[in-house]
């Protein structure tokens, strides 16, 4: 291979944390003189950042690895991420893979690729560099560049909940928090360079600070709120148990915090939640959500719900439907239960037939649409204006979101990327509001 070729395609699977880490890897590669290209193009090297949340995630990861090899059999192939952490040998069995590293030292993959280029030939045998995930601290990484309206910042890694359906604690290890001063520095950098929205994310975002003495997630939000600039702070997925009286009291008057919370609910049945080994029951979760809603009346909730968990009866599922109504979720990401090998739930009795899971998914999705349409009608009837951060443009229409996560579409003869404008709502289609910009 010609060692002067330095093009790399990075393919990222999975969550926002993986996306952040891939961007950090890309910036590290750029400092070493590499050119980052789209992963669907022919490149001299490919880095695949894997996910392992489901068996389907594993299958897709292996599929994309083989696809990269087929695209350019001479390319260097390097694999990292959650599947690489939990099952590196499985990846190493794929002919053509040069290097595998886990989640403890992701940035080292850039140096490994540099060494491959200097050597000038692919590895005869896959090199594996995977350390014990619980023996390592928070890997120091940051990103400086962003080409979108918003920027994601990884503030936390790891999860210690050990929910019965989830493999991620084994892939991500114990809770580790980014130093507060580093988070503040990164947010400040983005804001000074024109970023309009910062999204704080982690494997279990609300666990931020549990490994820090005398400093909590709420403390971090308060400190970020003091940063000068016109920007919004949005949060990644949160466990509802974090919405304690103390937490709500601290954050309720923050000026920059978006009134949108994505709650990782998973079920509205207390029995099912107990079988999942979640930290709360349905009543506790709803009480916490209502506490925040009382303190922040404009707040809107979105959520994730798994249907067809082992042992879920019709009564349990009906409790979930009722919970969704009472919580008034703006959006529900519905997931039919998928048994994950290596988790207790995969071996539980009472596995639900696929047809039943399919039916329950459809019923919950139908309910979600009804809840959202009714809420959209109510919002439209208020005849109020809304602030929108515009993010994209397509075929004469600009799209964006309000702070409380309503999707807005306006007709425009030009892109409005990163502009914050007032709009008046005209109508909706159950998914998106159509609006017009208010003249000032």
Q: Encode pLDDT of 68-89 as tens digits.
A: 999 999 999 999 999 999 999 9
Strand partners, 45: 8, 76
Distance (Å, whole) CA 369 – CA 98: 47
Q: Rounded to the nearest 5°, which phi and psi values hold at 13?
A: -110, 145
Rounded CA separation 226/395 (Å): 39
Is 70 exceeded by the pLDDT of residue 4? Answer: no
Give the per-residue pLDDT at 2: 44
Neighbours of 242 (CB within 10 A): 24
Q: How far is CA 58 from the centre of its chain?
A: 18
| DSSP strands (E only) in 337-413 | 385-394, 397-401, 407-411
Neighbours of 395 (CB within 10 A): 4
Mean pLDDT, rounded, for 406-420: 95
Write out pLDDT tens, residues 423-434.
999 999 999 999
Can you name the residues that pair with 129 across neighbouring β-strands?
101
For the four alpha carbons of 409, 415, 421 and 422, in that order, the dihedral sign comes to negative
Encoded tokens for 44? 């001299």
179-227 pLDDT, tens per residue?
A: 999 999 999 999 999 999 999 999 999 999 999 999 999 999 999 999 9
Q: How far apart are CA 155 and CA 199, in angstroms?
A: 10
Structure tokens that stand for 301 in this block? 């909730």
The 232-235 sheet, strands edge to edge: 176-177, 150-157, 197-202, 232-235
Query: What is the greatest pairwise CA distance in the chain?
Result: 67
pLDDT of residue 13: 96
| Paired sense of beta strands 197-202 and 150-157, if any | parallel
Nearest Cα to Cα of residue 402 among 383, 384, 386: 386
Is 60 exceeded by the pLDDT of residue 329?
yes
Q: Give the C-alpha distances (Å, rounded to integers) separating 41 from 11, 75, 404.
A: 11, 12, 37
Reduced to 3 states (helix: H, G, I; strand: E, B; else coil), residue 60 is helix
114-128, 146-160, 321-335, 370-384: segment of lowest average pLDDT: 146-160
Q: Do residues 138 and 171 make contact, with C-beta atoms less than 8 angstroms apart?
A: no
Task: Kindly report, residue by residue over 393-412, the tens digit of the pLDDT.
Answer: 999 999 999 999 999 999 99
- Going by their DSSP bridges, the two strands 407-411 and 397-401 should be labelled as antiparallel
DSSP one-letter string for 178-223: --HHHHHHHHHHHHHTT--EEEEEETTGGGTTTTSTT--HHHHHHH
Mean pLDDT on 344-351: 96
Q: What is the pLDDT of residue 5?
A: 64
Looking at 220-283, which runs of residues are DSSP E strands? Answer: 232-235, 260-266
**Mean pLDDT of all residues in 113-140:** 93
The total number of residues written for the chain in this structure = 440
SS3 state of residue 363:
helix
Average pLDDT, the chain: 95
Q: Cα-flanking dihedrals φ and ψ of residue 366, to 5°?
A: -65, -45
Q: In what order do the strands lie in the sheet with 300-307?
A: 260-266, 300-307, 331-336
Which pTM value belongs to this model?
Answer: 0.93
Under 8 Å CB-to-CB from 310, ≥6 apart: which residues? 275, 337, 345, 348, 349, 350, 351, 352
Q: What is the DSSP letter of 238?
A: B
* Residue-range domains of the chain with CATH: 7-131 (3.40.50.12160), 150-378 (3.80.30.20), 382-437 (2.40.50.140)
pLDDT at 145 (0 to 100) = 84
How many of the other CB atoms lie within 10 Å of CB of 255? Answer: 8
119-158: buried (b, 16+ CB within 10 Å) or exposed (e) per residue? eeebbeebbbbbeebeebebbebbbeebeebbbbbbbbbb
**What pLDDT does residue 135 have?**
86
State residue 3's pLDDT score: 45
Count the helices and strands in the chain (H runs, E runs). 13, 18
Range 288-310 average pLDDT: 97
Alpha carbons 381 and 273: distance in angstroms, whole number: 37
Q: Are 5 and 41 in contact (CB under 8 A)?
A: no
């Amino acid at each position: 291979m010609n060692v002067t070729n330095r093009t790399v395609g990075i393919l990222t699977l999975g969550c926002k944390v993986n996306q952040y880490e891939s961007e950090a890897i890309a910036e590290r590669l750029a400092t070493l003189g590499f050119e980052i290209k789209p992963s669907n193009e022919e490149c001299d090297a490919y880095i695949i950042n894997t996910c392992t949340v489901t068996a389907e995630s594993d299958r897709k990861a292996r599929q994309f690895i083989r696809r990269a090899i087929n695209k350019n059999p001479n390319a260097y192939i390097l694999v990292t991420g959650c599947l690489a952490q939990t099952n590196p040998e499985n990846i190493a069995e794929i002919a053509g893979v040069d290097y595998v590293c886990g989640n403890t030292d992701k940035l080292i993959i850039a140096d490994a690729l540099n060494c491959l280029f200097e050597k000038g030939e692919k590895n005869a045998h896959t090199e594996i560099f995977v350390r014990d995930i619980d023996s390592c601290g928070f890997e120091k990484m940051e990103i400086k560049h962003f080409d979108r309206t918003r920027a994601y910042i990884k503030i936390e890694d790891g999860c210690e909940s050990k929910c019965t359906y989830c493999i991620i604690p084994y892939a991500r290890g114990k809770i580790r928090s980014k130093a507060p001063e580093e988070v503040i520095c990164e947010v400040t950098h983005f804001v000074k360079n024109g970023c309009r929205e910062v999204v704080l994310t982690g494997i279990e975002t609300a666990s931020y600070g549990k490994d820090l003495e005398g400093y909590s997630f709420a403390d971090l939000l308060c400190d970020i709120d003091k940063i000068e600039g016109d920007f919004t702070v949005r949060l990644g997925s949160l466990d509802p148990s974090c919405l304690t009286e103390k937490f709500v009291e601290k954050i309720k008057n923050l000026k920059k915090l978006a009134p949108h919370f994505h709650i990782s609910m998973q079920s509205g049945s207390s029995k099912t939640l107990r079988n999942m080994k979640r930290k709360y029951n349905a009543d506790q979760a709803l009480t916490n959500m209502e506490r925040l809603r009382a303190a922040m009346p404009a707040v809107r909730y979105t959520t994730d719900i798994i249907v067809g968990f082992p042992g879920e009866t019709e009564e349990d599922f009906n409790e979930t439907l009722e919970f969704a109504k009472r919580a008034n979720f703006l959006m529900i990401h519905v997931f039919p239960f998928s048994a994950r090998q290596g988790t207790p739930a995969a071996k539980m009795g009472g596995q639900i037939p696929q047809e039943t899971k399919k039916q329950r998914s459809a019923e919950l999705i139908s309910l979600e649409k009804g809840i959202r349409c009714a809420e959209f009608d109510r919002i439209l009837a208020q005849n109020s204006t809304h602030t929108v951060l515009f993010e994209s443009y397509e075929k004469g229409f600009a799209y964006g979101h309000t702070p409380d996560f309503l999707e807005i579409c306006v007709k425009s003869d030009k892109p409005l990327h990163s502009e914050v404008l007032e709009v008046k709502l005209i109508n909706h289609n159950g998914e998106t509001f159509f609006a017009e910009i208010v003249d000032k």
